[in-house]
């Protein structure tokens, strides 16, 4: 943790349940939506962004410290709540960054409520059925194996997680996996009703993929690019699915290229 990290913890009370978030910095807002395995906390990636932006990192409803909407059955339900989080925090001209499953939620968000968005950044985003191959099914893997496969290699994984994940990390993964199962057990990690809605979505979109992503096939980057009118693709060489952990500076720079900082 960098010494100058001075994020604060926030809480937003919604009718659908209380949302917890971390926040730091000033300027136009960047909202970062976490992977299916939950937010691992304040990251060097967030620090880089916070140099020029107000960075908000929520626990999505049902993940981490945010209350579970027991009725939610679809990532679209999560996206609807996230539109209310952005409205509730009165954020305008938002750059919405979605990581993996968070990218799926971000894309759904953008199709239904683009008015508060200045730009959209989808990083290794789920949400579309890959034209070739499948999205890696975490439900058939141990937590450890799935998270390890999210990194470019086992060594990088061990560098972040350690020899054994700590108990609170394991709990986070376990709880997150249940919430993930509740909303996207089947079909797993995509929605055939998303792609048709992306065609009229005018928010400038940056699609970022790690060249070594083993979780969501890189084919999906091209599919998002084809579906969204104002989109371009950037591939980060050597990164796996967790680009924000492996290449935080490169990713922050890419986000800055669309966030206007």
Provide the phi-psi class of 22: left if phi over 0, else alpha when psi is between -120 and 50, else beta: beta
Q: Cβ of residue 70: shortest distance to another protein, in angstroms?
A: 8
CB of 19 to another protein, least distance (A): 10
Tell me the DSSP string of 153-193: SHHHHHHHH-SS--HHHHHHHHHHHHHHHHHHTTTTTB-TT
Q: Does 248 bind another protein (CB under 8 A)?
A: no
Q: Contact 113/201 with Cβ under 8 angstroms?
A: no
To the nearest whole angstrom, how small is the minimum distance from the Cβ of residue 120 to another protein? 25
Q: CA-CA distance, 147 to 216, in Å (whole number)? A: 13
Of positions 30, 172, 201, 258, contacts another protein by CB under 8 A: 172
> Three-state DSSP class for 57?
strand
The terminus-to-terminus CA distance of the chain in angstroms comes to 23
By CB under 8 A, is residue 186 in contact with another protein? yes
Which residue from 93, 139, 193, 202 is in contact with another protein, where contact means CB under 8 A?
139
Among 35, 54, 152, 182, binds another protein (CB under 8 A): 182
Q: Is 197 in the site for another protein (CB under 8 A)?
A: no
Regarding 38 and contact with another protein (CB under 8 A), the answer is yes
Sole residue written with tokens 């058939």: 140
69 binds another protein (CB under 8 A): no
Q: Please give the residue ranges that form the binding site for another protein (CB under 8 A).
A: 1, 9, 20-22, 38-43, 59, 64-65, 67-68, 139-144, 160-172, 174-175, 177-178, 180-182, 185-186
């Amino acid at each position: 943790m960098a010494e100058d990290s001075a994020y604060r913890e926030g809480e937003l009370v919604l009718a659908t349940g209380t949302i917890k978030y971390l926040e730091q910095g000033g300027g136009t807002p960047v909202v970062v939506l976490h992977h299916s395995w939950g937010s691992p906390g304040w990251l060097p990636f967030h620090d880089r962004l916070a140099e020029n932006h107000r960075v908000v990192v929520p626990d999505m409803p049902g993940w981490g410290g945010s209350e579970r909407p027991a009725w939610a059955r679809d990532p679209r339900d999560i996206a609807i709540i996230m539109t209310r989080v952005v409205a509730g925090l009165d954020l305008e001209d938002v750059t919405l960054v979605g990581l993996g499953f968070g990218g799926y939620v971000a894309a759904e968000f953008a199709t239904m409520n683009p008015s508060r968005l200045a730009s959209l950044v989808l990083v290794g985003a789920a949400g579309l059925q890959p034209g070739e191959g499948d999205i890696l099914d975490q439900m058939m893997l141990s937590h450890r194996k799935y998270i390890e496969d999210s990194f470019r290699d086992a060594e990088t994984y061990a560098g972040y997680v350690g020899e054994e994940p700590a108990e609170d990390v394991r709990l986070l993964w376990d709880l997150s996996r249940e919430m993930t199962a509740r909303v996207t057990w089947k079909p797993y990690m995509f929605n055939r009703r998303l792609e048709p809605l992306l065609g009229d979505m005018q928010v400038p979109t940056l699609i970022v993929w790690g060249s070594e992503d083993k979780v969501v096939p890189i084919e999906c980057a091209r599919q998002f690019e084809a579906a969204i009118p104002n989109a371009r693709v950037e591939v980060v060489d050597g990164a796996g699915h967790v680009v924000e952990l492996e290449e935080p500076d490169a990713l922050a720079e890419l986000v800055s290229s669309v966030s206007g900082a």
